[in-house]
Structure 1
Amino acid sequence: MKYVVVLGDGMADEPIEQLGGKTPLQAARTPVMDAMAKVSEQGIAYTVPENLPAGSDVANLAMLGYDPQKYYSGRSPLEALSIGVDMKDTDIALRCNIVTLSEDEAYEEKTIIDHSSGEITTEEAKVLIDAVKKELETEEFHYYPGVSYRHLTIWDHGYVADLTPPHDILGKQIGEYLPEESKLREMMKKSFDILDHHPVNQKRRQMGLNPANSIWFWGAGTRPALDDFEAKTGKKGAMVSAVDLLKGIAVGTHMLNLDVEGATGGLDTNYKGKAMAAVDSLTEEGADVVYIHVEAPDEMGHQGSVENKVKAIEFLDDQVIRVVAEELKKRGEDFRMLIGPDHPTPISIRTHSKDPIPFMIYDSTREIEGQKEYSEEAARSTGLVMEHGHDLMDRLLQK
């Protein structure tokens, strides 16, 4: 038996008037998931404990079977693992987004317009982070480029400062959300002067794109200590993701990290390439469990784009779930598949919520009486509630 997790990041939502009172998951054309729903188990699960932030870090740890109360040490340290930064026990990792701020006001009065700078390319972003690094790096603070708008700063002998995720304050004036730590705040202010008129951003403006004109620190944390996935579950695991957070979790848990050409973390990602890499890992590379993480629904939720969130879910259904299921059956493999988001990212708030997620577990070897569709409403209607989302992995593995 092979095991697959298809994680549509932020896929769950609330009913939207524009969609006739349906959620994006209900409105999307998802014939594969809906066919599975008729013979599968559905329910809801709480992936984010009340005392922890509703982040993809906490929620994906839970979906992988790691109790966040025990294993969570901050988001950025997990990304540091992916980038290959060997943190010391005295280091603090900080997520360093490059964001779009309004331009005319004093820094404290600026508004955050876009947490991802229009999903800036990794190539452009590296040039900008290198410019920041040249001006601001010291023995105390070190900068490392990541993927797209997601980068890393290591603070030597720092502390876990209370910092606000930029996607939580879209459209708001930033003054009251800036770090209390003066060193962090001053670097953010100086970064605007470095980046706002940088040639990369001048070109982006000419193309009608949002400039990436400031860094934004958040997600502080200490060096992580994660148990080996195979030792924990008895199964060899593989990870397919475009983002450093999930790649870092894979490094920390000693899962096989699968790199896929064209995997961007955006709506334009190489969905089929991810699906095929996952299947090959199960049938040719000895993996027992593969975790396919697709970031696009979450990004579209942050952008407030109803149309593109629906598209992302449709792409997930047709180019990931369909491809994986058909290929595994073609290769004679029995499999169980867990489908779900890590957390909701409702269009109405453009950020994550702690509401429970709808999940579905499909088994290619047996059919049960299921629901007419896979959706938030269908999952709630079954009455199955997993109070601890980290127990879902054991449920998938039938432990």
Structure 2
Amino acid sequence: MKHLIILGDGMSDHPIAYLGGKTPLQYASTPSFDRLASAGRCGTLVTIPEGFSPGSEVANTSILGYDLNEVYEGRGPLEAASIGYEMEPDDMAMRCNIITLGQQGEITNHHGGHLTTEEGAELIKYLDSHLGSERVKFIPGIQYRHLLVIKGANKHIKCAPPHDHPEEQWRDLLIKPVTETAADASRMSSAETAGLINDLILRSQKLLAEHPINIRRKAEGRPTANSIWPWSPGYRPKMQTLHQMYPSIKSGAVISAVDLIRGIGHYAGLRTIVIPGMTGLADTNYEGKAKAAVDALRTDDFVFLHVEATDEAGHDGNIDLKIRAIEYLDNRIVGPVMDELADWNEPVRIALLPDHATPVERRIHIGEPVPFTIYTPGGIPDDVTVYDEKSCTQGAYGTLHLQEFMEEFMRL
């Protein structure tokens, strides 16, 4: 049997008065989701271990069956792997957003006004030419998502993910040192590391304000990408591949526009499939992703298909866009994939779930249980006929925790 996970990032939500007390998932028209749930077995899943923040790097790694207490090294090293940056033993890597700060110092958005990949790369290369050194490197990624690598830096610092602090004052969220550990004795101190990164943030703001991209954006009345925001530091992780954990997965693939997810896939031993037109937004190439997943399943044992658009809509606080992104996932990916696989001789087990909630009225990640369904061809379904946050609580799986999901999904 082959296996396919379809994940709508941040798709889970809370009831909204504007929608008559429904969540966006309940309000959206999702006949394919419901068809999958009706044929499968449902439940809810705790994706965030106790003591961890509800980041996508935590949730997705957990969903794939890893013990975060053993493998977690932050988002930065995962994204480094996804863009082919080979970390040295003394490197510390961080996600480096380019964000928008308002006139009063508030974080207006975490994405620099939805920078294009070309704009983001130009800005990061510009910053590297002015702020980079033998110790400090800025490395371009996708859109607003980039990488900061600092040699000899200490990962034991307190960082604030910008998407979790909309409208808050950036000066209140600067990097803070935390208690040192003996293992970091050969590195910079936590205080030195925090001071260095905060200095880079301050210096980036003056440089970005003067860049032609931002001068043009300002003239056009668009948000300016006027500050970097590094967060989620870590060293090179040590992870088993999925094949080592689940021998039936001899080969696999990951399909995502997001460096983080590709990086997790890299360490999990999955090849990355790049589709033209993947944006990480609601205008992404859904049909291309669906076709790529089906094509991959012809030769691979396992495919992880990730869609970011639902999460971005949640962070933007855009109810209508989140509903639309959910419906696109339903009718442009899940439906066509189910139709294509229906006539296959070799059965394909399919799971559908989010990694965490990103409620549009809060615009941040929430680490609460998320709804999931697992469809097994020829399996006995439970009584759930609708896929949403409430209905799945009545499913046969009850509430699973962390690695239990992958154990159930891969059960022979």
| TM-score, normalisation: structure 2 | 0.92
Instruction: State how far apart, in whole Å, the 1-side matches of 2:276 and 2:395 are.
Output: 39
Find the partner of 1:239 among 243, 254, 259.
254
Residue 365 (structure 1) aligns with: 378
The reply on whether 1:304 has 2:314 as its aligned counterpart is no
8 Å contact from structure 2 (residues 43, 399) kept in 1: yes
Q: Does 1:280 align with 2:295?
A: yes
Aligned residue type for 1:74: G
Shift of 1:139: 1.4
Moved more, 183-192 or 358-367: 358-367
Residues matched between the structures, number: 392
Equivalent residue number for residue 211 of structure 1? 224
2:158 pairs with one of 159, 162, 168: 162
Alpha-carbon distance in structure 2 between the residues aligned to 1:384 and 1:156: 46
Q: In structure 1, which of residues 172, 179, 202 is the aligned counterpart of residue 175 of structure 2?
A: 179
Deviation at 1:372, TM superposition (A): 2.7
- Following the alignment from structure 1 to structure 2, what is the Cα–Cα distance between the partners of residues 365 and 383? 16
How far off its partner does 1:333 sit?
Answer: 3.8
The residue correspondences of 1:117-196 to structure 2 (distance < 5 A) are 117-160=112-155, 161-180=157-176, 181-196=194-209
Q: CA deviation at 1:381?
A: 2.4
Cα distance between partner residues in 2 of 1:333 and 1:26: 32
Q: Helix, strand or coil: the match of 2:163?
A: helix
Is the Cα–Cα contact under 8 Å of residues 42 and 382 in structure 2 kept in the other structure?
A: no
CA RMSD, aligned part only? 1.4
The offset of 1:127, in angstroms, is 0.7
Which residue is 2:285 aligned to?
270
Amino acid at match of 1:245: L
Q: Are the aligned partners of 1:337 and 1:361 in contact in 2 as well (CA < 8 Å)?
A: yes
Listed one character per residue, the Cα deviations across residues 303-328 of structure 1 (whole Å, up to 9, x for unaligned) are: 11111111111000011111211122
1:29-40 matched pairs, under 5 angstroms: 29-40=29-40
Residue by residue over 1:66-102, the C-alpha shift from the partner in whole angstroms, topping out at 9 and shown as x without a partner, is 1222211111110010111111221111111000011
Q: Deviations over 1:246-268 (max 9, x none)?
A: 11111112112111111111111
1:330 is displaced (CA, Å) by 4.1
Question: d(CA) in 2 for partners of 1:367 and 1:335?
Answer: 15
TM-score normalized by structure 1?
0.95
Unaligned runs of 5+ in 2: 177-193
Residue 355 of structure 1 corresponds to 368
Q: Tell me the distance in 2 between the aligned counterparts of 1:389 and 1:143.
A: 34
Alignment match, 2:264: 249
- The alignment partner of 1:151 has SS state of strand
For the 8 Å contact 1:79–1:247, the answer to whether it is kept is yes
Equivalents in 2 of 1:92, 1:368: separation in Å? Answer: 47
1:46 pairs with 2:41: no
Counterpart AA for 2:74: G
In the other structure, the counterpart of 1:64 is: 64
Following the alignment from structure 2 to structure 1, what is the Cα–Cα distance between the partners of residues 127 and 303?
A: 37
Query: Which amino acid letter does the alignment assign opposite residue 101 of structure 1?
Result: L
For residues 216-256 of structure 1, the C-alpha deviation after alignment (integer angstroms, 9 at most, x for no partner) is 01011111111011121121221001111011111112112
Q: 1:332: Cα distance to partner?
A: 3.8
Q: 1:22 Cα deviation (Å)?
A: 0.4
Deviation at 1:367, TM superposition (A): 4.3
Shift, 1:116, TM fit: 0.7
- CA contact 2:9–2:356 (8 Å) conserved in 1: yes
SS across alignment from 2:284: coil
Match of 1:221 among 234, 250, 260: 234
Q: Is the 8 A contact 1:163 1:219 kept in 2?
A: yes
The answer as to whether partners of 2:137 and 2:148 remain within 8 angstroms in 1 is yes
Give, in whole Å, the separation in 2 of the partners of 1:206 and 1:359: 46
Structure 1: how far apart are the matches of 2:372 and 2:295? 25
Give, in whole Å, the separation in 1 of the partners of 2:137 and 2:307: 29
1:8 aligns with 2:23: no
